[in-house]
Chains A and B, each alone.
Chain A
Amino acid sequence: MELMIAAALGILTTCGVFLILRARTFSVVLGLTLLSHAVNLFLFSMGRLTTGAPAIVGLTESSADPLPQALVLTAIVISFAMTAFVVVLSLKAAVELRNDHVDGENPNEDRL
C-alpha cells in the first residue's frame, strides 16, 4: 500500500507541476487542482497508513490518527474554495483580456 500511495503522489505531483508550467490558464488551473489533490493525499497519509482501524482512540487495539483527517478536511475545503475562485478569475481574465494566456497576452501572437 505504501508503494501505491507513493506512486499516486508522485504521478499526481508530476502531472500537476507539468500542467502549472503551461502557458494557458486552463491547464494551470488543472495543474493546481492535481497538485492540491497530491498535497491532500500526502497530508492524509502523514498519520501513517492503517487499515481497519477506527479514528477513535480506545475503541479497538489499534486506532488511526484522527488529526490528519481533520486537517485534510480543512485543507480540502480551502483548496476547493480557492479552485473555484481561480476558475472564475481566469474566466474573467480570459474575457477581459481576450485570450487565455497566463500573462494576458501571447508573446508569439499578439505582438506581431
Chain B
Amino acid sequence: MTHLMILPVVIPMLAAAWLLVNHRASIGRQRVWSIFSTSVLVALGVWAVVAAQTDYHTYWLGNWQPPFGIVLVLDRLSAMMLLLAALLALFCVLYASRGSDREGSHFHALFQFQLMGINGAFLTGDLFNLFVFFEILLLASYALLLHGGGRARSRAGLHYVIINLLGSALFLLALGILYGLTGTLNMADLAVRIAAASPDDQTLLKGAALLLMVVFGIKAAILPLLFWLPRAYSASSAPVAALFAIMTKVGFYAMVRVLLIVFGLDPAQPLNAGVFLWLWPLALATLGLGAIGVLGAASLRTMAAYLVIMSSGLLMASFAMAETTVLAASLFYLLHSTCLAAVFFLLADLIGRQRSDGYDLLSVTAPLTHRWILGTLFLVAAVSMAGLPPFSGFISKAWLLQNATGHPHYLWLWGITLLAGLFMIAALSRAGSGWFWKPEPFTGRQRRKLDPARVATVSVLIGISGTLALFAAPVMEYMTATAGQLYHPSAYVQAVLGEPATKTGGLTP
C-alpha cells in the first residue's frame, strides 16, 4: 500500500481549497497554482500507468479493512483514465489561462474540484463512494457550465442540472436495492455476494443493474437520455467543453467497472447479460443519431457535441459485444476520441476568434485571418476524427472493426460505424471548405492577432493523436492486458478482499 494512490484526489482538493481561501489572489497566481496542481496530476498519472502494469494496488482509507472501510483500487483501467483525464485537464487549464478564466470568478477552484471528482470516481472501489465522487464532479460541472454567465448557459444549465439530479436519485435507489439485498456496497464484496445470491433475488438485482445502467447512461449520453448534451456542451466556454469531453467517458468507465466487476463474477450466469441485451441496440441507435446530428449541426461547437455522442455510442456498442478483444480496441478508441473531441471544442473557439463575423456558425461565410495555420490544424484534426489514415482515428477504428468480426451481429456495428464515418467526413469537409476556401481574403483594417499559446496548446493536443498512431503497438498491448484484467473479476475481488474473504464470501450479515 502506497500513499501515492490517494494523491490524485487530495492534490486537486488542496489546490481548490487554497484557491477558494485566497480568491483575492491575482489571477496570475491562481493560474500558477492550478497549472502546477494539474501538472502534478499528470506526473501521478504516469506513475499510475507504470505501477498498474504489475498488479492491483489497493489503498484502505483510514486503514479500515475492506469490506468495512472505503477502499481505493488502482488497476490498469483506472490508471489509464487518470492519465488521460490529467493530460486533458492540463491542456484545458493552459488554454483557459489565456483569458477564458477571467469571464467569471473561481474558475480554477471549480476546475480543481471537478478534477478531484473525476479522479475519485476512477479510483474508488466502493459504490456509495462512487456516488459521492459523482456528485462532487457534477456540482463542479454545474458551476463550470454556467461560468461566464449568459442566457444560453442558464437555459442549457437548467436541463443539465435537472436531469443529473434525477440521475442521482436513481443512483441512490439502485444503491438502496443493492444494500438491502446484500448488506454491502464494496464492489468486490458486492460481486461475491451477487454471484452467490439466491434465485429469488435475481429479479431485483437485475432491476438494480438496469437502474445503474440508466444512471451511467445519462452521464455517457445513451440514446433516450442524451438530449441535454448538445445544448449544454455547445453553450459552455471552450476549455470547459473540452474538459467535459472526459465526462461522458466517466459514465462509460463506471458502466464498464460496475457491469464487469460487480455483476460479472458468476461465470455461469452473469447478471450483466440482460443489461448488454439492452445496451447493444440503444448504443447503435446513439451512434446513428450522433452521425445525423453531426451532419445537421449549425455550428462547430454543436458538431463537436454530436461527435462526443457518436464516440460514446461506438464505445458502448463495442462494450455491449462483451468480448475481451473488442473491449481492448474500444479502450484505444476512447483515448483517441476524448482527445479529438476536446480538440474540436478548442478549435471552434480558436477559429471563431479569428473570424470577422458569425463566431463558429457554419452558415456564415466570413473572412478569416491566419487561414493557413488554422486550416492546417482543422484538416489534421478532421482527418484524425473521421478515421482516415494515418492518424490514431484510423488505427483505433480499424482495430475495433477487425476485432468485432467474431460477434454474430458484427455487421450492424460495421454498417453503422462506416456510415457514420461517411456522414462525419461529409460534415467536416463541408465545414472546412465553407470556412477556409469560400470567404474572401481578410481585408479589414485590424488584423486580429493569433494567440500563439492557444495555437500551441491545440497543436500539441492534436499531436497526441499522431503519437498514439506512432506508438500504437505498446498502447495496444497495454489495452489488451487491460481488457483481459477487466474480464477476470475474480482477480479484482481477490486483490481487494484477500484470499480468505473470497472463500467465505466476506462476513455473514
Nearest-CB residue, chain A, relative to B181: A46
- Most interface-central of B128, B155, B172 (chain A CB within 10 A): B172
A18 to chain B, nearest CB (A): 14
Interfacial residues, chain A to chain B (CB-CB below 8 A): 20, 25, 28, 32, 35-36, 39-40, 42-43, 46-48, 65, 67-68, 71, 74-75, 78-79, 81-82, 85-86, 89-90, 92-93, 96-97, 102-104
Residues of B within 8 A of A96 (CB): 150-151, 154
Interfacial residues, chain B to chain A (CB-CB below 8 A): 128, 132, 135, 139, 142, 146, 150-151, 154-155, 157-159, 161-162, 165-166, 168-169, 172-173, 175-177, 179-180, 183, 185
User: A42 near B151 (CB under 8 angstroms)?
Assistant: no
User: B172 near A32 (CB under 8 angstroms)?
Assistant: no
Given A35-B169, A42-B173, A85-B142, A102-B162 contact (CB < 8 Å): yes
User: A43 near B161 (CB under 8 angstroms)?
Assistant: no
User: B158 near A25 (CB under 8 angstroms)?
Assistant: yes
User: A82 near B165 (CB under 8 angstroms)?
Assistant: yes
Complex Cα distance, B170 from A39, in Å, reads 8
- Most interface-central of A25, A36, A65, A75 (chain B CB within 10 A): A75
Q: List 21 A-B contacts (CB under 8 A).
A: A39-B173, A42-B172, A43-B172, A43-B176, A46-B179, A46-B180, A68-B179, A75-B172, A78-B132, A78-B135, A78-B168, A82-B139, A82-B168, A85-B161, A86-B161, A86-B162, A89-B154, A93-B158, A96-B151, A104-B151, A104-B158
Nearest-CB residue, chain A, relative to B158: A93
The secondary structure that dominates the B interface is helix
Complex Cα distance, B496 from A67, in Å, reads 20
Residues of A within 8 A of B150 (CB): 96
Nearest-CB residue, chain B, relative to A20: B166
Identify which of A25, A40, A89 contacts B146 (C-beta below 8 A). A89
8 residue pairs, one from A and one from B, having the closest CB atoms: A104-B155, A46-B180, A93-B154, A43-B176, A46-B176, A39-B172, A39-B169, A96-B154
User: A43 near B151 (CB under 8 angstroms)?
Assistant: no
The secondary structure that dominates the A interface is helix
User: A104 near B135 (CB under 8 angstroms)?
Assistant: no
Nearest-CB residue, chain A, relative to B509: A65
User: B179 near A67 (CB under 8 angstroms)?
Assistant: yes
Given A25-B158, A92-B154, A104-B158, A42-B139 contact (CB < 8 Å): no
Complex Cα distance, B244 from A101, in Å, reads 26
Residues of B within 8 A of A81 (CB): 139
Residues of A within 8 A of B175 (CB): 43, 71
Taking A47-B180, A86-B162, A102-B159 as known contacts, 12 extra A-B pairs with beta carbons closer than 8 A to each other, sorted by chain A number, are A25-B158, A32-B165, A36-B165, A39-B169, A40-B172, A43-B172, A47-B179, A86-B161, A89-B146, A89-B154, A93-B158, A104-B154
